[in-house]
Amino acid sequence: MPITFVDREGELAFMEELWKRENSFLPIYGRRRVGKTRLVKEFIKDKPAVYHLARNSTYLDNLRDFAGAVLERYPSPFLTPGSFSSFADVFRYLSEKGKILVVIDEFPYLVQSDKRVLSEFQYIVDEVVRASKLHLILVGSSVGMMEEHVLSQKSPLYGRRDGQIRLEPLDFFSSWKLLGVDMEEAVRIYGVTGGVPAYLVLFNRFEDVKRLAFVKHGFLYAEGDFLLSSELREPRVYKLILKAVAEGRTRFNEISTFTGIPRSNLFKYVEVLERLGFLRRETPVTAPPKTKNTRYKIADNYMNFYFRFVERYRDEVELESLDFWGEFLEEYNAYLCGVFEDIARQFLVELNKTKGLPFRFTKLGRWWRKGEEIDIVALNERERRALLVEVKWKDLSVREARGVLKGLERKGELIGLEGWEKSYGLMAKKVKGKERLREDGFLAWDLSDFVELRH
């Protein structure tokens, strides 16, 4: 079943701008399953284009496949795929055919087939693309390899691109649109999938997680191992770090103690996980840039779910037992608190665009100090205005909501923003009597407001 295409307006608009030029070179990369191939196919569908999916094979095999795709689109009575001795030959042939988009998907496989490919593509960009009307897009799922071999200063291709797209997962609201379920069910599914389109389309309802993640042959059961093994040389070490963070060891010393990795070695591993988008470093939003008050969070919902639950229940799954299901549902509901906080931030970002808040914020994050925490703090430092928001993944009565807001006002005195104008807000699954809270000067939102935002 083809994946419905949603969102990606910004990426498509940028690609269209490049297409208006005489020629261009654009790398596109991002984690596996995020929709890179779907994006380029959407872009090229009404354009003169050649698409080639590189294989984990030899240089000559890939060359023959690529030449075959070119000749199928732009045939010659005198040539066969075997007529070309290099990719440069094929590009020179194409350069005589006018304005054409050339997409090479999974480019890292081509690099692995022969390291000289990078120098060859330097020549192709410099001497063929720039002297013609060709537009070249190189796509890669290995974030590490694309950054090292295409984007870094060490690469022969460095400085030649006309931009780059690191494709990120869909945001929550685009994911909800793709899922076509009610808002609460969308939150539950998003907690497993994040905004990865290839995962989202596997779900009709949250309970599908049973067959997808808790069955030995389920698509999401071994996906975490596959993602790490395809990116990293020492996946075992990285798995240990992610497991530590998933289980609540969020500070650097705690991760070091749990994993047994010395601090001096741990830095490089954590740095790699951050660069690949699996881990995110967080500091209190009001802290100075060089603060040591840091925490780490798994940035990818699927990987967080995988290490929090799939790894934990692996023995039961291998024995084909679902005796843990009730326990899982209870713990998963608690896990959704963190997921809902991220969604709440996305909601505020959307409101910020539409001027749906008391002021336009320029900084957004969490705050914590000495056991006190505030889920979301939005700041406008120039205007000295702050919005403090607590997030609860449950239904709240008016009395409960007022209690939460009273506690938030108390914490607002500890945050260190003397002389600032502060607003206080609350976000929950459902807030009963939220209109009364708004009349009293508070901000209050629940899932019904999420629905209204997108209608």
* 115, amino acid identity: K
Position 4 in a domain: no
Position 200 in a domain: yes
**Residue range of the domain that includes 393:** 342-453
pTM of the model: 0.93
Position 1 in a domain: no
| Number of structural domains found in the chain | 3
Position 2 in a domain: no
Question: Residue 24: exposed, middle, or buried by beta-carbon count in 10 A (0-12, 13-18, 19+)?
Answer: buried
* Selection from 380, 373, 340, 341 nearest residue 359 by Cα: 380
Indicate which CATH number applies to the domain containing 290.
1.10.10.10
Indicate which CATH number applies to the domain containing 415.
3.40.1350.10
Residue-level pLDDT at 455 = 64
239 and 266 in a single domain? The answer is yes
318 and 387 in a single domain? The answer is no
148 and 16 in a single domain? The answer is yes
Residue-level pLDDT at 2 = 44
Residue-level pLDDT at 1 = 39
Position 352 in a domain: yes
Helix (H, G, I), strand (E, B) or coil at 154: coil
* Selection from 230, 274, 276 nearest residue 109 by Cα: 230
Last residue of one domain, picked from the residues 307, 338, 369: 338
Last residue of one domain, picked from the residues 294, 312, 338: 338
188 and 128 in a single domain? The answer is no
274 and 261 in a single domain? The answer is yes
242 and 146 in a single domain? The answer is no
88 and 180 in a single domain? The answer is no
Q: What is the pLDDT along the chain (455 residues), one digit of tens a residue?
A: 344 577 899 999 999 999 999 999 999 999 999 999 999 999 999 999 999 999 999 999 999 999 999 999 999 999 999 999 999 999 999 999 999 999 999 999 999 999 899 999 999 999 999 999 999 999 999 998 999 999 999 999 999 999 999 999 999 999 999 999 999 999 999 999 999 999 999 999 999 999 999 999 999 999 999 999 988 988 999 999 999 999 999 999 999 999 999 999 999 999 999 999 999 999 999 999 889 999 999 999 999 999 999 999 999 999 999 999 999 999 999 999 999 999 999 999 999 998 889 999 999 999 999 999 999 999 999 999 999 999 999 999 999 999 999 999 999 999 989 999 999 999 999 999 999 999 999 999 999 999 998 76
78 and 153 in a single domain? The answer is yes
199 and 313 in a single domain? The answer is yes
422 and 391 in a single domain? The answer is yes
Residue-level pLDDT at 233 = 84
Token digits of residue 66 = 């690529």
Residue-level pLDDT at 4 = 58
The β-bridge relationship of strands 385-396 and 421-431 is parallel
- Is-contact 203 193, C-beta < 8 A? yes
Calculate the CA 120 to chain-centre distance. 31
Q: Which residues pair with 443 in a beta bridge?
A: 425
